[in-house]
Amino acid sequence: MVGVKMAAAAAASIRERQTVALKRMLNFNVPHIKNSTGEPVWKVLIYDRFGQDIISPLLSVKELRDMGITLHLLLHSDRDPIPDVPAVYFVMPTEENIDRMCQDLRNQLYESYYLNFISAISRSKLEDIANAALAASAVTQVAKVFDQYLNFITLEDDMFVLCNQNKELVSYRAINRPDITDTEMETVMDTIVDSLFCFFVTLGAVPIIRCSRGTAAEMVAVKLDKKLRENLRDARNSLFTGDTLGAGQFSFQRPLLVLVDRNIDLATPLHHTWTYQALVHDVLDFHLNRVNLEESSGVENSPAGARPKRKNKKSYDLTPADKFWQKHKGSPFPEVAESVQQELESYRAQEDEVKRLKSIMGLEGEDEGAISMLSDNTAKLTSAVSSLPELLEKKRLIDLHTNVATAVLEHIKARKLDVYFEYEEKIMSKTTLDKSLLDIISDPDAGTPEDKMRLFLIYYISAQQAPSEADLEQYKKALTDAGCNLNPLQYIKQWKAFAKMASAPTSYGNTTTKPMGLLSRVMNTGSQFVMEGVKNLVLKQQNLPVTRILDNLMEMKSNPETDDYRYFDPKMLRGNDSSVPRNKNPFQEAIVFVVGGGNYIEYQNLVDYIKGKQGKHILYGCSELFNATQFIKQLSQLGQK
């Protein structure tokens, strides 16, 4: 029974833990008690862009207000003095941020200052603040200075990404530039390690680390192991002692951290996808859980002769509170379209019920039948009225997903994404192809030049032997004719030669998707989603390389792919370089971290994989989250050199 309880405690997701830490910070670093009746202390929150990105996916403006935050301002904006209000700062410890804070102290902007640093601040910078406070005789007003160790962004209960501001510093391109110097590489690695360290402090656990050899992931592992080790050794200031560990919830078993290098699988980030969340990320502007749509101006509801409306931009937050999103973000798209339709019908039925009751209530009281109906209906009406807010919220979510799904569908139809998805799945699973690659590349109606380039790169990466020079020229010509930029191919060619991948091509499982005939059921006339011509493809679970590696290491399976992965245990006194794990038991918790960038396709694949494993948890993290467009752009920059 203990085991079950432990697992439940460990399942306090990283999102909850980071949210709790933020609320504690906003409460002047005193644990936040939910049911305290007292009014919150009104205060101002000052953050930089890093702080903003960390807070915005976790706390809404309303939640901030409930915590007593009346104003939230960017550090480097022009701020007026508010002399009788305490200010909570949440910023990175950079030179310019600290200069600006010192300036605030000198200008006596606020009543008191609670300085919180997203990542640990160095001794010398602390002294700068102390000197500024002395000079401004504001020492008494600086109430607290805290290192928060929150330098990462949580997007889901089980997904995090390192940073969003200047992410080009840790991008795939930055790590794989041929002309990168050792010192630049060190800086990139230190940035990644700092964030991962913050992640484990927030998680309250010291992981066992495994990584592939000879990659950027190995450099991260070595540095992270060292950093954790130093912190554990410094017993007085260790961040992993008693109280922070949430009463030892991990004491019985530690999580496994698998560090993977993006280079083990370059096909997946280019892959066209078929699940809802990954599609939204691929074809729309989806960023830190917010999707921005351009609404096509509706012809309806504008009076005759009126000027056509401009396109308005709308943004929607896809949050954990959105039940439809939580349930369907991993579903194949046709299923999503069908579910939106069902939700809409059930909503209309409820709405009609309320209308019917209204009309009965309007009856004249003379008629005896109406009187008896009235008493019967009063109870119904009461329940209808009490369910109104719920109905309105339901309506809002239905509208949101109708708009988002319609926007996605327009892309699928315009670009024949279902064809691409199915064809790429076949390439990646080495099934026989029913039509030639050249046909798709030269078909002017199929997709954008970028779609064609993605398809060809996947073919090139997955091919057991590279196409002959003559064939390659033919493909190149077709791609150029289709308007493709060939730079990404330049890079992938070098990459493939360098990795000598031909000897051991990454296999993606040998399953295929089954087309289920066209979407007959969604095609009923009442449906808003006219999906004729779009294939209803049903996904079969197949593990992508990242999931396979995790499975080997988490379940302690022997496999040539992962047998020589290095093993680090920061808790062991002497670090010994071995790939022999000391502990032979399978792990219950694991964190997969991709150095060089990740995507929602891999995330979804891991989520589906772990569904079948009882009582186990996985977190997916990456140094940046990119969609195929952003990734192609990086490959293209690398190919120009």
Query: What is the full DSSP assignment across 562-601?
Result: TTT-EEE-TTSSS---BS--S--SPPSEEEEEEET-B-HH
Nearest to 270, CA basis, from 7, 604, 569, 630: 630
Nearest to 156, CA basis, from 285, 279, 275, 13: 13
Partners of 43 in the β-ladder: 69
User: Are 402 and 478 part of one and the same domain?
Assistant: no
pLDDT for position 254: 86
Q: Is the pLDDT of residue 517 over 50?
A: no
User: Are 25 and 123 part of one and the same domain?
Assistant: yes
Q: Is the pLDDT of residue 153 over 90?
A: yes
pLDDT for position 562: 85
Pair 631, 601: CB distance under 8 Å: no
Mean of pLDDT values over 581-590: 80
Mean pLDDT of the chain: 83
Within a domain: 482: yes
Partners of 315 in the β-ladder: 292
Residue with tokens 């640990």: 120
Mean of pLDDT values over 455-464: 89
pLDDT for position 234: 78
Which of 211-225, 243-257, 382-396 is predicted most confidently? 211-225
Angle at which helices 545-554 and 600-611 cross, to 10°: 40
Give the number of other CB atoms < 10 A from CB of residue 124.
7
User: Are 393 and 432 part of one and the same domain?
Assistant: no
Tokens of 64: 């901030």
For the chain, the residue count is: 641
Q: Residue 508 contacts by C-beta under 8 Å, 6 or more apart in sequence?
A: 267, 428, 429, 462, 542, 544, 545
Mean of pLDDT values over 449-472: 89
d(CA 274, CA 333): 6
pLDDT tens digits, residue range 476-496? 999 999 999 999 999 999 888
d(CA 448, CA 415): 7
Within a domain: 132: yes
Within a domain: 525: no
d(CA 638, CA 597): 15
pLDDT for position 221: 95
Tokens of 309: 């409306």
d(CA 366, CA 361): 13
Compare 253 and 415 and report the one with higher pLDDT: 415
**Opening angle at CA 53, ends 51 and 57, nearest 5:** 120
| Phi and psi torsions of 385, nearest 5° | -65, -40
Angle at which helices 388-415 and 276-283 cross, to 10°: 60
Within a domain: 533: no
Is residue 349 helix, strand or coil? helix
Q: Please measure the distance between the N-terminal and C-terminal CA atoms of the chain and give it in whole angstroms.
A: 59
Q: Is the pLDDT of residue 301 over 50?
A: no
Within a domain: 627: yes
Q: Percentage of the chain with pLDDT > 70?
A: 80
pLDDT tens digits, residue range 176-223? 998 899 999 999 999 999 999 999 999 888 999 999 888 999 999 999
User: Are 128 and 163 part of one and the same domain?
Assistant: no
pLDDT for position 503: 38
pLDDT for position 537: 65
Tokens of 472: 């390659």
User: Are 332 and 244 part of one and the same domain?
Assistant: no
d(CA 423, CA 521): 24
Is residue 142 helix, strand or coil? strand
User: Are 336 and 237 part of one and the same domain?
Assistant: no
SS3 labels along 25-80: HHCCCCCCCCCCCCCCCCEEEEECHHHHHHHCCCCCHHHHHHCCEEEEEECCCCCC
Mean of pLDDT values over 221-234: 90
Q: Percentage of the chain with pLDDT > 90?
A: 51
pLDDT for position 519: 37
Compare 306 and 415 and report the one with higher pLDDT: 415
Domain-ending residue, one of 472, 501, 530: 501
User: Are 592 and 465 part of one and the same domain?
Assistant: no
d(CA 108, CA 133): 10
| Phi and psi torsions of 467, nearest 5° | -60, 150
Instruction: Look up the CATH number of the domain holding residue 245.
Output: 3.40.50.1910
C-alpha distance from residue 496 to each of 423, 437, 478, 507 (Å): 22, 20, 21, 15
pLDDT for position 560: 85
pLDDT tens digits, residue range 304-362? 555 555 567 889 999 888 999 999 999 999 999 999 999 999 888 888 877 777 676 66
Within a domain: 446: yes
SS3 labels along 346-394: HHHHHHHHHHHHHHHHCCCCCCHHHHHHHHHHHHHHHHHHHCHHHHHHH
d(CA 120, CA 116): 9
| Residue ranges making up the domain that contains 255 | 154-265+544-639
Mean of pLDDT values over 411-417: 91
User: Are 22 and 101 part of one and the same domain?
Assistant: yes
Q: Is the pLDDT of residue 386 over 80?
A: no
Q: Residue 510 contacts by C-beta under 8 Å, 6 or more apart in sequence?
A: 429, 430, 431
d(CA 46, CA 55): 12
| Phi and psi torsions of 618, nearest 5° | -130, 140
d(CA 132, CA 108): 11
pLDDT for position 429: 81
C-alpha distance from residue 433 to each of 207, 436, 468, 540 (Å): 43, 7, 19, 18
User: Are 133 and 250 part of one and the same domain?
Assistant: no
d(CA 189, CA 199): 15
Q: What is this structure's pTM?
A: 0.86
User: Are 322 and 252 part of one and the same domain?
Assistant: no
d(CA 157, CA 12): 9
Within a domain: 366: no
Instruction: Look up the CATH number of the domain holding residue 117.
Output: 3.40.50.2060
pLDDT for position 244: 43
d(CA 618, CA 606): 7
Within a domain: 630: yes
Mean of pLDDT values over 1-15: 48
Q: Which DSSP symbol is given to 627?
A: -
Give the number of other CB atoms < 10 A from CB of residue 609.
21
d(CA 483, CA 480): 5
Compare 365 and 588 and report the one with higher pLDDT: 588
d(CA 593, CA 221): 11
Q: Is the pLDDT of residue 510 over 80?
A: no
Domain-ending residue, one of 105, 130, 149: 149
User: Are 390 and 431 part of one and the same domain?
Assistant: no
Q: Residue 135 contacts by C-beta under 8 Å, 6 or more apart in sequence?
A: 106
Number of domains in the chain: 4
pLDDT for position 2: 32
Domain-ending residue, one of 99, 125, 149: 149
Confidence of residue 454 (pLDDT cuts 50, 70, 90): very high
Tokens of 590: 């694991």
Give the number of other CB atoms < 10 A from CB of residue 417.
24
Confidence of residue 11 (pLDDT cuts 50, 70, 90): very low
Tokens of 99: 């200069």
User: Are 409 and 422 part of one and the same domain?
Assistant: no
Look at 83-87, 142-146, 434-438, 551-555 and tell me which has the smallest mean pLDDT.
434-438
